[in-house]
Structure 1
Amino acid sequence: MRVRTAATRSATVDVDCKAGDDDGMDGSGTLSNEARILWDAARGLARETASVSAPLLFFTDPARTPEPWRTAERLPTGAGVVYRHFGARDAEAVARRLKAISLDRGLVLLIGLDAGLAEVVGADGVHLPQRALGQAEALRARRPDWLLTGAVHAVETPAPEALDAVVLSPIFPAGGASAVKPALGVEALTAMARRRPVYALGGVNVATVGGLTGSGACGIAGVDAIRSAFAS
């Protein structure tokens, strides 16, 4: 499986491999039923768009995923991790641990809103929250090899062309910080997908992921659903 990394942003993920053909979770070569559903759905979306580096992005959260490396260790080759540390004191240590796992398993590692940390640990790029999208152009000029993604929470939100992809949320009713936000729905996702590569985030799980088929999304992203599916 080929992954577009910091070394070569022009390559794309080879989505023709079958789930379980790589090392699998914990080296077992198998996926749980829930993990297989999410992974196959993500790669199906990637096939339709042929424009992503990693069809599935695991977003970390200090409260909901206090040990993100446990999930990262079980992700299939070609998936991605977005490490959001929110100022945690052990951010560098955790980022280095995730980088080691990413190298071992063939994952894409993005650091949330911390280009300095991304540089230090040799991450593949940066994910920007919506409030920091203005940094995208400068980051692209400084690191043209990086993968850059950015969060948006409305179809009308202007997103810099410097971004490789946007992450639109919440698509479905979601938990965490998005619990108080109204779901945007698949129609909004499709509208965004007409303009640029977009990941679906928010309430995307084994029960809802089928509804993304044909939406134009380039992949899926999640916190709890991915942590749960790849827990064993």
Structure 2
Amino acid sequence: MTRRHRKKLPTIWLMTDERVADAALLAAVARLPKGRAGIVFRHYKTEGKARRTLFETVRVLARRRRLVLLLAGDVLTAAAWRADGWHGRDTRRVARPMLHSMAAHDVREVLAARRGRADLLFVSPLFPTRSHPGAGCLGRARFAALARQTDVPVMALGGVKPGHRRMLRGIGADGWAAIDGLVGGGV
């Protein structure tokens, strides 16, 4: 992906998580802004067949709403499942164009994302989160320092809510991602 595609990337991303009931997840997908949001389907702990079935349900809804859908894991599985891209450390490429996102929690991971030619970066955790209780967070200053280390779009993740949008621009975020901040109701 080139810099000219930067404006086409969604600025709102829903991260999936096993803590969220399937019905609540699908309701959150249905609330995402049509044609302007993305989903990173994680569900790492869900067993194979159940994970694939839920992914297919999300994929159908995402297509109907023109949402970008990334599958956490490897590029070959993402291609086989007809995702728009993959989220993870796998740096292989496939024949068709696919988006590649990576997570970064520190400078080392930002540099790894650059080497891995990631198209976008989820920098986290900006704030404390329910999904990682007790874990440290970056805060605004450290987040901004990491965001300056890359030339790809940066999405803020970790305790982010719709009300943070304006503040995020000031610290170098091109958009934001959430679980609770999007499943809980507002976009």
Q: Which residue identity is paired with 1:93?
A: T
How many matched pairs? Answer: 177
CA separation of 1:226 and 1:63: change in aligned 2, threshold 3 A: same
Residues 1:81 and 2:39 are matched in the alignment: yes
What is the match of residue 39 of structure 1?
none
Q: How does 1:95-174 map to 2 (within 5 A)?
A: 95-128=55-88, 133=89, 135-136=90-91, 138=92, 141-143=93-95, 145-157=97-109, 158-161=111-114, 162-174=117-129
Q: Secondary structure at the match of 1:126?
A: strand
What is the match of residue 139 of structure 2?
185
- Superposition TM-score, scaled by structure 1 size: 0.68
Q: Deviations over 1:193-212 (max 9, x none)?
A: 22232110011114544432
CA separation of 1:181 and 1:144: change in aligned 2, threshold 3 A: farther
Query: 2:125, 2:159 within 8 Å by CA — same for their partners in 1?
Result: yes
Q: Secondary structure at the match of 2:112?
A: coil
Unaligned segments of structure 1, at least 5 residues = 1-8, 13-49
Query: 1:52, 1:219 within 8 Å by CA — same for their partners in 2?
Result: no
Tell me, in whole angstroms, the C-alpha distance in 2 between the residues paired with 1:144 and 1:155: 30
Q: Deviations over 1:44-71 (max 9, x none)?
A: xxxxxx5551101100001134332221
Higher-RCO chain (CA-CA 8 Å, sequence separation at least 6): 1
Tell me, in whole angstroms, the C-alpha distance in 2 between the residues paired with 1:80 and 1:183: 24
Query: 1:186, 1:211 within 8 Å by CA — same for their partners in 2?
Result: no
CA separation of 1:210 and 1:149: change in aligned 2, threshold 3 A: same
Q: Secondary structure at the match of 1:94?
A: helix
Q: Secondary structure at the match of 2:97?
A: coil
What is the match of residue 155 of structure 2?
199
CA separation of 1:188 and 1:155: change in aligned 2, threshold 3 A: farther
Q: Deviations over 1:104-160 (max 9, x none)?
A: 1010000111434422331100111xxxx2x22x1xx32561101011112343323
C-alpha displacement of 1:221: 0.3
Tell me, in whole angstroms, the C-alpha distance in 1 between the residues paired with 2:136 and 2:158: 10
Query: 1:159, 1:166 within 8 Å by CA — same for their partners in 2?
Result: no
Aligned-pair Cα RMSD in Å: 2.2
What is the match of residue 26 of structure 2?
69
Q: Which residue identity is paired with 2:103?
A: A
Unaligned segments of structure 2, at least 5 residues = none
Q: Which residue identity is paired with 1:83?
A: F
